[in-house]
């Protein structure tokens, strides 16, 4: 799952075995804190990068078997040691969040997918490590779900991210549909905007759905939660299409009744 505050999906829910919930909460807490360092508040860029560098130093201490200097990461250190979790995914997250500070626009999809590989996929891989499932084919399905979900979040939040001075929609996609990125500043999006956004949501949804075998493979409660994640992301993508990409005035989101629909769909997902 993408880190981006998990707005649409439960974290450490009752569907996760009780013995793993502390680890999931510790991983999420680290990711959320680091993400906020990059995005929230009004600190200058270098101050944000320095703070992320301090987090990287804490990971180095944990990896060396030392106690973190900041006690807030003691629980994370304990869970990493208890479950023998890899540190590389957490370092990838910090790399991506540092990139958020430095990069405001992506030239093409390859660059965007490289970012997703470090900002979204590590969380799924950490969860698989908790379940002692590290087979390459499971990683591939997990990466598809995580990247697909993050892309859906990006298209859901085009307006929010643009207001922060960041655009995840690649320049090459604007060019492919004959549009200029300056249209993001216009009071009304031009003809072709809906088609541009729909192409992105279809791509994201296809990625999400391609990861469905992971839910069958892991099974049980976590498999059901994966189905909820996939169906939730797919539903958001369709709602973005329904408003023809006008997320500036109609930002789609999940509400209470949606969870009944998602649960029904998840229960019958192939």
Series of mean pLDDT values for 10-residue runs along the chain (270 residues): 42 67 91 91 94 98 96 97 96 96 96 96 92 94 95 96 94 97 94 97 97 91 85 93 94 81 76
Both structure tokens of 69: 């200097």
* Residues 115, 91 share a domain: no
Q: How high is the pLDDT of residue 259?
A: 74
Given 82, 102, 122, the domain boundary residue is 102
Q: Which residues contact 169 (CB under 8 A, 6 or more apart)?
A: 106, 154, 155, 158, 181, 196, 200
| Three-state DSSP class for residue 224 | helix
Is there a domain that residue 1 lies in?
Answer: no
Q: Are residues 176 and 246 in the same domain?
A: yes
Q: How many domains does the chain have?
A: 2
22 and 70 co-located in one domain: yes
The token pair at 253 is 């989101």
Instruction: State the pTM of this model.
Output: 0.90
b/e 258-267 (16+ beta carbons within 10 angstroms → b) = beeebeebbe
**Pairwise CA distance, residues 32 & 7, whole Å:** 12
217 plus 160 within the same structural domain: yes
Question: Do 66 and 135 reside in the same domain of the chain?
Answer: no
Surface-to-core class of residue 10, CB atoms within 10 Å of its CB (0-12 exposed, 13-18 middle, 19+ buried):
middle
Domain residues for the domain of 60 are: 14-102
Q: What is the pLDDT of residue 13?
A: 56
Q: Alpha carbon 43 to chain centroid distance?
A: 23
Domain shared by 262 and 133, yes or no:
yes
């Amino acid at each position: 799952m993408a880190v981006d505050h998990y707005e649409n999906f439960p974290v450490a829910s009752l569907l996760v075995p009780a013995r793993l919930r502390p680890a999931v909460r510790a991983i999420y807490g680290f990711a959320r804190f680091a993400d906020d360092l990059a995005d929230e508040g009004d600190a200058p860029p270098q101050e944000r990068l320095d703070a992320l560098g301090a987090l990287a130093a804490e990971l180095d201490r944990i990896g060396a078997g030392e106690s973190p200097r900041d006690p807030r990461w003691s629980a994370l250190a304990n869970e990493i040691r208890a479950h023998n979790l890899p540190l590389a995914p957490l370092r990838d997250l910090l790399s991506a969040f540092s990139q958020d500070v430095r990069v405001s626009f992506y030239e093409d999809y390859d660059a965007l997918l490289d970012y997703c590989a470090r900002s979204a996929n590590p969380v799924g891989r950490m969860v698989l490590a908790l379940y002692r499932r590290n087979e390459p084919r499971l990683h591939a399905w997990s990466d598809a779900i995580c990247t697909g979900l993050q892309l859906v979040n990006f298209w859901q939040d085009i307006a929010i991210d643009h207001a922060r001075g960041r655009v995840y929609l690649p320049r090459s996609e604007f060019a492919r549909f004959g549009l200029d990125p300056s249209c993001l500043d216009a009071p009304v999006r031009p003809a072709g905007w809906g088609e541009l956004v729909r192409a992105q949501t279809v791509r994201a949804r296809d990625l999400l759905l391609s990861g469905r075998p992971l839910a069958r493979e892991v099974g049980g409660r976590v498999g059901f939660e994966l189905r909820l994640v996939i169906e939730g992301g797919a539903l958001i993508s369709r709602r973005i299409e329904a408003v023809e990409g006008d997320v500036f005035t109609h930002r789609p989101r999940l509400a209470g009744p949606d969870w009944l629909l998602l649960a029904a769909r998840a229960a019958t997902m192939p």
